[in-house]
Amino acid sequence: MTVTPEILTGGPTLPQERRLVTALPGPRTAELQARKSAAVATGVGVTMPVYAAAAGGGVVVDVDGNSLIDLGSGIAVTTLGNADPAVAAAVADQVARFTHTCFMITGYEGYVEVAERLNRLTPGEHDKRTALFNSGAEAVENAIKIARVATKKQAVVAFDHAYHGRTNLTMSLTAKSMPYKSGFGPFAGEVYRAPMSYPYRDGLSGPEAAKAALLQIEKQVGADNLAAIIIEPIQGEGGFIVPAPGFLAELSAWCTANGVVFIADEIQTGFARTGAMFACEHDGVVPDLITTAKGIAGGLPLAAVTGRAEIMDATHVGGLGGTYGGNPVACAAALAALDAFEHGGLIERARQIETIAVERLTAAKAADPRIGEVRGRGAMIAIELVDPTTGEPDAKLTAAVAKAAHAEGVIILTCGTYGNVIRLLPPLSIPDHLLVEGLDVLLAGLARH
Ligand SMILES: *Cc1c(COP(=O)(O)O)cnc(C)c1O
């Protein structure tokens, strides 16, 4: 039976199959691509030759009726699965009651409840406060504002390969020029960069890498000037780089000893994605502030800064906010999503996905030296592709393998400073058979190149 896109409803009841009924792009998608080129700014790129009609479980169905395996989750956002029924019901209910008041004018319970839940779910038993925003970049900006007010210092340190967003301050924190920063300067002042622990390339232990980073920070910035260190516990866009054990803990301890705010940017790693509620739990680190977004609300735009009450409350009344921050519809979605993260067995599911993916990818690595490393945690797993003789990053091969997977109906994303990392971010609702099929398509494409 051919399913016409018009009658499709998304969510987990969509047929869980890879099914191509046209070449990609299909004719309706091609029409939309032409309209996009004429109407949408060129700077906004679209990776896949696909325009979505419905999505759920582990598939995205396009406007031509092609059903693709989703190994990207819209960049780690639909962790729960697209159009999750509980999220959809919570959104429908809230939309029918009220859609906006502006929390800074008249409050509502959903905002307060999201804050209470985040205060409870994030690492550490200390007294916490939360503020809500619209996007990850906005949360990062606000975390820096808060750290500066609380410490009365200005400098901020970010790391090599870091990604923190596309606004002016967050571009400044982001490491990679192309495509995120190139031509968009001048950038914000008082932002400094330190070396990241990258075990595959630097060969250093966590404490050794931390020592090098802290020496550089002490010499080039000085703790007396430093408000905050911001770091992704596992780097996302930068290449799914998992720092060596002990790196994060040493940085965090140094921050505590030196009156510097330690900010964990868990926008990509948060909410069960890595097989823990938050990735810094793997390293036993309790951040002072934590930024969240992406997976928090089942696909609706919401972001948060959560952290120590004495730091969060250092800001004067009225100093934080925004028209839409903590929108009631997004909060309703987040409460449904947080229920699932807490009680839905998703941490366990992320670990199962890790087992399946790592087993297959490690077997492939043993047979193919172009896979330099298999790394990541939970449902955040990557392979780094290299020239086997020199170890040099192979971005060309990476792009070709991604393109081959796309043509066969598998949504996969690349990342990495050197563009040579294929990253897997499947929704946790993906059935095993689709995960395995997606990996098989990916690896067959690699074998052909
Ligand atoms: C995506 C991302 C951001 C930016 O979030 P937006 O919602 O796109 O503004 C910041 N930090 C990390 C680690 C991210 O992955």
Tell me 315's DSSP state.
S
Q: Measured from the CB, is residue 135 less than 6 Å from ligand 1?
A: yes
pLDDT (average), residues 295-302: 98
Torsion angle (degrees, nearest 10) of CA 353, 355, 359, 365: 70
CB 155 within 8 A of CB 224: no
Spatial distance between the Cα atoms of 170 and 140, rounded to a whole number of angstroms? 7
Same domain for 268 and 242, yes or no, is yes
Confidence bin at 353 (pLDDT 50/70/90): very high
CB 443 within 8 A of CB 370: no
Same domain for 249 and 162, yes or no, is yes
What distance in angstroms lies between residue 248's CA and the mean position of ligand 1's atoms? 20
Spatial distance between the Cα atoms of 383 and 365, rounded to a whole number of angstroms? 9
Relative orientation angle of helices 346-367 and 432-448, to the nearest 10 degrees? 20
Q: How high is the pLDDT of residue 7?
A: 60
pLDDT (average), residues 183-193: 98
pLDDT (average), residues 375-393: 98
What distance in angstroms lies between residue 362's CA and the mean position of ligand 1's atoms? 29
What distance in angstroms lies between residue 78's CA and the mean position of ligand 1's atoms? 14
Spatial distance between the Cα atoms of 174 and 179, rounded to a whole number of angstroms? 11
Q: Measured from the CB, is residue 48 less than 6 Å from ligand 1?
A: no
Same domain for 319 and 443, yes or no, is no
pLDDT in tens, 165-181: 999 999 999 999 999 99
Sheet hosting strand 413-415, strand order edge to edge: 371-377, 380-385, 421-424, 413-415
Q: Measured from the CB, is residue 268 less than 6 Å from ligand 1?
A: yes
Spatial distance between the Cα atoms of 50 and 54, rounded to a whole number of angstroms? 12
Tokens 């074998």 found at: 447
Same domain for 131 and 225, yes or no, is yes
Residue 447 CA, chain-centre distance (Å), reads 28
Q: How high is the pLDDT of residue 4?
A: 53
What distance in angstroms lies between residue 268's CA and the mean position of ligand 1's atoms? 7
How far lies 119's CA from each of 113, 122, 127, 130, 308, in Å? 10, 6, 8, 7, 9
Residue 244 confidence (pLDDT) above 80: yes
- The total of structural domains in the chain comes to 2
pLDDT in tens, 29-81: 999 999 999 999 999 999 999 999 999 999 999 999 999 999 999 999 999 99
Same domain for 123 and 226, yes or no, is yes
* Tokens matching residue 251: 């940085």
Helix (H) or strand (E) holding 355: helix 346-367
Residue 3 confidence (pLDDT) above 60: no
- The CA-CA-CA angle for residues 282, 370, 390, to 5°, reads 100
CATH code for the domain of 325: 3.40.640.10
Of 343, 373, 389, which one is at a domain's C-terminal end? 343
3-state secondary structure 24-46: CCCHHHHHHHHHHHHHCCCCCCC
pLDDT (average), residues 249-261: 98
Tokens 């839409």 found at: 324
Of 297, 320, 343, which one is at a domain's C-terminal end? 343
Residue nearest to atom 6 of ligand 1 (CA): 136
Q: How high is the pLDDT of residue 111?
A: 98
Same domain for 194 and 237, yes or no, is yes
* Tokens matching residue 230: 């911001």
Q: How high is the pLDDT of residue 6?
A: 57
Same domain for 333 and 365, yes or no, is no
* Tokens matching residue 339: 């229920």
Residue 5 confidence (pLDDT) above 80: no
Confidence bin at 8 (pLDDT 50/70/90): confident
Same domain for 270 and 125, yes or no, is yes
Residue 1 confidence (pLDDT) above 50: no
Structural domain containing residue 180: 87-343
Same domain for 76 and 98, yes or no, is no
Provide CB contacts within 8 A for 400, sequence distance 6+: 449
Of 343, 364, 384, which one is at a domain's C-terminal end? 343
User: How many other CB atoms are there within 10 angstroms of residue 154's CB atom?
Assistant: 15
Mean confidence (pLDDT) of the chain: 97
Q: How high is the pLDDT of residue 433?
A: 98
Peptide bond into 25 cis (omega under 30): yes
Query: Could you tell me where the DSSP H helices lie in 9-108?
Result: 27-39, 73-76, 85-97
Atom of ligand 1 nearest to the CA of 303: 7
Residue 384 confidence (pLDDT) above 90: yes
What distance in angstroms lies between residue 448's CA and the mean position of ligand 1's atoms? 34
Residue 435 CA, chain-centre distance (Å), reads 19
Q: What percent of the chain has pLDDT over 70?
A: 98
User: How many other CB atoms are there within 10 angstroms of residue 288's CB atom?
Assistant: 25
Spatial distance between the Cα atoms of 303 and 330, rounded to a whole number of angstroms? 10
Same domain for 137 and 79, yes or no, is no
Spatial distance between the Cα atoms of 146 and 136, rounded to a whole number of angstroms? 15
Q: Which residues of 436-446 are buried (b: 16+ CB within 10 A; e: fewer)?
A: ebbbebbbebb
Q: How many residues does the chain have?
A: 449
CATH code for the domain of 13: 3.90.1150.10
Confidence bin at 2 (pLDDT 50/70/90): very low
Spatial distance between the Cα atoms of 292 and 280, rounded to a whole number of angstroms? 13
Same domain for 79 and 124, yes or no, is no
Q: What percent of the chain has pLDDT over 90?
A: 98
User: Which of 294, 302, 305, 324 most suits a substitution to test ligand 1, by most atoms within 8 Å of the C-beta?
Assistant: 294
Same domain for 218 and 360, yes or no, is no
Torsion angle (degrees, nearest 10) of CA 335, 341, 343, 346: 150
What distance in angstroms lies between residue 146's CA and the mean position of ligand 1's atoms? 18
pLDDT (average), residues 97-105: 98
